[in-house]
Amino acid sequence: MVIANISGAIKRINDIVYKVKSQSISAAAYRVIEDIEKYNRIGGLQNEISRLATQIYILNEMSAPRNKAIMALLKLQAYGVFTGIKALNPV
């Protein structure tokens, strides 16, 4: 698997070298700048994904006790324990 990754990386490098050789110096420089900008954007997106994943984890942890209580109430209602209480049926 590592060999496949290395050979894939070498192929990509060879492709880039071929493209750069077929371009003028200014076009190659512009391409490098574009690649750096894309790399920075990807890094920013990865940071944003990490931040959002942390927020989701925190929200899930905060709502877990409430979710357990709701599930317990629904089970009791399914067993008929709360059939006469109107507070559970706000409709």
Number of structural domains (the chain) is 1
Report yes or no on 1 lying in a domain. no
CA distance 56 to 38: 27
Q: Is residue 26 a part of any domain in this protein?
A: yes
Please report the pLDDT score of residue 76 as a whole number: 86
Pair 82, 88: CB distance under 8 Å: yes
Task: State residue 85's pLDDT score.
Answer: 56
pLDDT at residue 55, as a whole number: 94
3-state secondary structure the chain: CHHHHHHHHHHHHHHHHHHHHCCCHHHHHHHHHHHHHHHHHHHHHHHHHHHHHHHHHHHHHHHHHHHHHHHHHHHHHHCCCCCCCHHHCCC
**pLDDT, position 8:** 74
pLDDT number for residue 57: 95
Residues of the chain with pLDDT under 70: 1-5, 19-21, 23, 82-91
Residue 2 counted as domain residue? no
Residue 21: inside a domain, yes or no? Answer: yes
Domain interval for residue 40: 8-82
pLDDT of residue 28: 75
In a domain, 17, yes or no: yes
pTM score, two decimals?
0.47
pLDDT value, residue 58: 94
